[in-house]
Structures are given as C-alpha cells and as structure tokens.
Amino acid sequence: MTIQYINRPEQLPQLCEQINQEPWIALDTEFLREKTYYPKFCLLQIAAPGWVACIDPLAITDLSPLLESIYNPNIVKVLHSCRQDLEIFYQITGRIPGPIFDTQIAAPLLGFQENPGYAMLVSSFLNINLNKAHTRTDWSARPLSEDQIEYAADDVIYLCKIYTMMCEQLEKLGRLNWLDSDFALLNNSELYQLSPENAWLKIRGKNKLTGRQLSILQALSEWREQTAQTENKPRNWLFPDDMLLELAKLQPVTLTDLAKIRNINERSVNRYGKVLCELIDAARQRPPKPLNEKERPTKKTQQHEAIMDVLSAVVRIRAEENSLNPVILATRKELEQLLFGEEDNPLLHGWRFKMAGKELQGLLKGEYSLSLTPDTVVISPVTHQ
C-alpha cells in the first residue's frame, strides 16, 4: 500500500475527500512530552481499507480542513488506548472527534485481559510481531526517514484490520452495542481538561495528611500545575509529588527552613522559594477542601468481607456464562465501592450493569435473593405477597 505523506496544504483537499467517503477511519498520533507539559503534536496517521496517510502538523500550520473531516459525526474514529490522542485533538479544538471506537476497551469482551497493549492485539489477531526499531524516535526531528514513516503508517494499517475482525467477532457474539455507553464516556470534555485546582486529587498519599497538611498540599499542587502550564514544563520537573507531600508535612515558612529540606533543589529554592513559603503560610490558616468520601479509607468488617464474597460469586457465574474473565466484569475494589454506595462505578453503567450490576445492586437492596443447589446458584427477584 502506498503511503501518502502529507506535508503541504495543497494536499489536504484530496485527503479530506477520501476521509469523507468512509464510514470509519483508523487514527493514531505521534507526539513528544518528555520535556514539555503539553504534548508536542508531531505526526498524524489516518487509514481506511485501501489507503493510508501520514500528515505532518509541524509543516502544515492550518489543519482546519482536515479537522473538519475528522470531526464528521457520521464517521467512526477507531483508536487504541485513545485518551492521549484525544487530548491532542481537544487542545487544538476544545472538542472531541466522536464517535469513538477504542480497541483496548473492546478487547476484553473477546476474552483479552483488561487494558491489553496494542502489540498484543496485533500479535493475536494478525500473527505479526510489531517492529520496535523506532520506539524511541524523536518524532519532532525532520526530515522523517522512509522507515519512520512506514513504521508510523503500520500502526493504523494494522488497526484497520483489527477493527474489522473485532466487529465481526463482537457481532457474532451479540456484543457490538454493549460498548456504546463506554465509548460515549470518552466524549466527556472533563476527561481532557487540565484543571489546576483539582491537581491535588491525583497525588497518592493525600488521604494520610492532617487537615492543615492537606490544605498546604492543595495550594502547592494548584501552584505547580499553573506554573507547569505557564512554563510548558513537566510538573515533576518543578517538584515531584513526594516533595510536595514533604513540604505539606514540614510546613516551612522561611527560605532558611525551606533550604534545609532534604533533596530540595537549590535552584528551585532561589527561583520559587518565596512564593512557596507564602503559599504554605496562607494555606495553614484555612481549612482544606474536603476529601471525597471515596478517598476516605473505609474500615471493613468481617460481615462486609462476607457480603463481597457473595457478590464475587455472582460475578464469577455471570462471567463464566459469557466466557469472560471475572476481573473484566468486576474487580474486588469495584464490588467494595458498590457495597459502600459509590455512584461512579463501572458496574452501574453499560453492559456491566446489564450483565451483573443490576443483580448485584438488587441483592444489596433486598430485591433479589440467592438459593443454592449442589450444582447451581440461583438468583431470583424477591416476590412480595
């Protein structure tokens, strides 16, 4: 298959015409973000059965005509592990190019493990071992070699074939529409918004801090995120998470105290020390934003553990009936969240709710009952007389 390398604006109209004739296209991006906060968009690969194109966004500054075709709501966009790719589109336009089909999300319905890698799918579906020669390529360097372009194009060529085979198998199993709600969630713009005031939520260990310490962590995390965005640097280049936790615990309010902290960079103290001390001092005087209930560790009793064992049994039964790995249907953690009433739970949405979530919820509410025989577990609605 001839690879179209698009690096001039006058080449875009013909490519757009090709895209607009397709019911679906496979997409992939190459980007760099090791030295920046925002990903640097370096290459866009698009394919459909019969053709493939690699577009150079560094050479073509105005991609508007191409984006208009990609954002056509009548064309399904097929990606693998799409979150970072969609983040790039969101940063360019402020919108997500739905509808989306993510092969990583779909694969478990065909018996794969949760979140399978792309190389695994290529090997399993196509019996091809991916070439790893350009894994570490600097995609911002120009010119790109023929090998680099071919390597990038292969990703979407294979993705087209995998998507076709996946759809055929899912259709045979009657599972193709099970994924609709999962894919619809990917259109939620909040997934791609970089909100400084909520940056603290991603730091592990926050739930072990006292009130004053948590307030300081929240202030420092927000400052770090804003500064990283402004300077377009990776947030950990400013201060890693463990350093923010250390600052929250030690609470230095003078440059002398700050400089005494182990492993803190002298250059960082000189550049940011004053503002850090001011932030810490101010945060000590105010209450923290409350932890979400799901962030608070819940002490489980033996009764709770027994209930989750019962729920796990139901999950195993339903997973076996549908030839699925039980972990794909529900993890122990998700069952715990269901038990304690957390609403943000995959078991309460889409195919998981239909397969097991409704019954599990009904068992917890007393709307379903369990009965046993030597060979079976029977789950039945409770009838009220």
Site of tokens 């911002």:
140
The helix-helix angle for 358-365 and 302-321 (nearest 10°) equals 150
Whether residue 204 is predicted with pLDDT greater than 80 in this model: the reply is: yes
For residue 269, CA distances in Å to 226, 235, 254, 290 come to 18, 16, 11, 29
Domain assignment present for residue 50? The answer is yes
Residues 210, 177 share a domain? no
Q: Do 85 and 153 lie in a common domain?
A: yes
**Do residues 205 and 123 both lie within one domain?**
no
The CATH code of the domain that includes 141 is 3.30.420.10
Provide the residue range defining the domain that includes 251: 196-283
Do 59 and 176 lie in one domain? The reply is yes
The pairing of beta strand 51-55 with beta strand 76-79: unpaired
249 burial via Cβ count (<10 Å: 0-12, 13-18, 19+): middle
Instruction: Examine the domain organization and report whether 62 and 112 are in the same domain.
Output: yes
Residue at 291 is within a domain: no
Position 350 confidence tier, pLDDT thresholds 50, 70, 90: confident
Tell me: the pLDDT tens digits for 73-87? 999 999 999 999 999
Same domain? For 375 and 330 the reply is yes
Domain match, 331 and 226 both: no
Rounded Cα distance, 121 and 127, in Å: 9
175-192, pLDDT tens digit by residue?
A: 999 999 899 999 998 888
Please write the tens of the pLDDT for every residue from 5-60. Answer: 999 999 999 999 999 999 999 999 999 999 999 999 999 999 999 999 999 999 99
- Quick one: 10 and 131 in the same domain? yes
Distance of CA 290 to the CA centre of its chain: 25
- In whole angstroms, give the CA distance from residue 263 to residue 250: 13
Residues 143 and 54 in one domain: yes
Write down the pTM of the prediction.
0.88
Sign of CA dihedral 260, 264, 270, 273: negative
**What gap in Å lies between CA 20 and CA 41, rounded to an integer?**
23
Q: Are 94 and 182 contained in the same domain?
A: yes
Q: What is the mean pLDDT of the chain?
A: 93
As given in the structure block, the two tokens for residue 109 are: 């319905």
Q: Within this chain, do residues 80 and 157 fall inside the same structural domain, yes or no?
A: yes
Cα angle value 335/337/342 (rounded, 5°):
135
Q: Which residues are CB-neighbours of 93 under 8 A, at least 6 positions away?
A: 67, 71
Q: How far apart are CA 207 and CA 222, in angstroms?
A: 17
Do 76 and 133 lie in one domain? The reply is yes
24-32 and 40-48 strand pairing: antiparallel
Lowest mean pLDDT among 3-7, 51-55, 136-140, 244-248: 136-140
Task: For residue 288, tell me if it sits in a domain.
Answer: no
CATH number for 265: 1.10.150.80
